[in-house]
Structure 1
Amino acid sequence: MIDLEQVAQGHAKSVVECNPSAKEAEGLIATAVVYGANELFHHLDEMDFGNAIKALKFGYKVCRKGWNGSGMFLWLKPASKVRAEWCKDPHLKHLAELNGGEINALGTICMLTAQNEILTGWLASQTDMLSEDWMIVP
């Protein structure tokens, strides 16, 4: 399971970066994030797709009870900067080099498949979006 307090502190720091006058309230902001996440997710055995997306944004892994494969789940890979020296993909490395040595990577939803493979850029089906059997992965 994720360290919710660490996620909350990250959210609070982001708020303070955008609004330095909120520095005095940073601890309260982190506490509110933890409280809100606990209230939103910990009492739910099943969720709709909207709450599953919210859970992903809080750093949780989610899955559907109705999925056929054992051990499948989703997680959110947040946006980041990719440095050229980290790249094994020659095309990505070249793009990063052309961009001054690093390039922005957008966030994406990833899946661990039933075959124990990683799928980057998972897309929900209409059935997934309309289902209410989403749950947080322990």
Structure 2
Amino acid sequence: MCENCLKKCSFVSVSLRGELICPKAYDLTPCSALLSCPLLEPDGRPKPSDFSAALIALKDGHAVARHGWNGKGMYLKMQTPDEHSKMGLPYIYISTVEGKFVPWVASQTDLFAEDWYMKGAA
């Protein structure tokens, strides 16, 4: 990554495959080094990645999903409680096939899967 990327990113981490993860990369800023983000293909389409990249996207307000899930339209989002919430800490929820929202806990399979992608990317 170039210094320009590091200045724009609030957090840079390394995936299980050793790739640098830039959470702002999916903003598709002009810096060409940002396009190597494991969350997106160079043309902006979602790119399968691991859960560490998915978690960064969740923390940044994006929805994520797995290609390996059987249910159509299912996705995860993170909820940060406000003063009107019954929950006191942030949590991840899933949108089910029926469009219902329920709290979600990752399975071992989900944590180690490498088919995570960001929903709604180009």
TM-score (norm 1): 0.56
Paired AA for residue 76 in structure 1: M
Do structure 1's residue 109 and structure 2's residue 92 form an aligned pair?
yes
Q: Kindly indicate whether the alpha-carbon contact (under 8 Å) linking 2:57 and 2:63 is maintained by their aligned counterparts in 1.
A: yes
Do structure 1's residue 60 and structure 2's residue 62 form an aligned pair?
yes
Q: Which has the higher contact order (CA 8 A, sep 6+)?
A: 1
Unaligned runs of 5+ in 1: 1-27, 84-91, 93-103
3-state SS of the aligned residue for 2:69? Answer: coil
Select which of 40, 46, 49 maps to 1:47.
49
Q: 1:122 to 1:36 in 2, by over 3 A?
A: closer
Q: 1:33 to 1:80 in 2, by over 3 A?
A: farther
Equivalence for 2:117? 135
Q: 1:129 to 1:45 in 2, by over 3 A?
A: same
TM-score (norm 2): 0.63
More helix by share: 1
CA displacement 1:83-119 (0-9 Å, x = unmatched): 7xxxxxxxx5xxxxxxxxxxx7211101100122111
3-state SS of the aligned residue for 2:104? Answer: coil
CA displacement 1:32-58 (0-9 Å, x = unmatched): 138851133334611101111011011
Equivalence for 1:89? none
CA RMSD in angstroms comes to 2.5
Q: Flag the structure with larger Rg.
A: 1
How many equivalent residue pairs?
89
Q: Kindly indicate whether the alpha-carbon contact (under 8 Å) linking 1:82 and 1:105 is maintained by their aligned counterparts in 2.
A: no
Equivalence for 1:125? 107
CA distance in 1, matches of 2:88, 2:84: 7
Deviation (angstroms), 1:82:
2.1
Equivalence for 1:73? 75
Paired AA for residue 79 in structure 1: P
Q: 1:127 to 1:36 in 2, by over 3 A?
A: closer
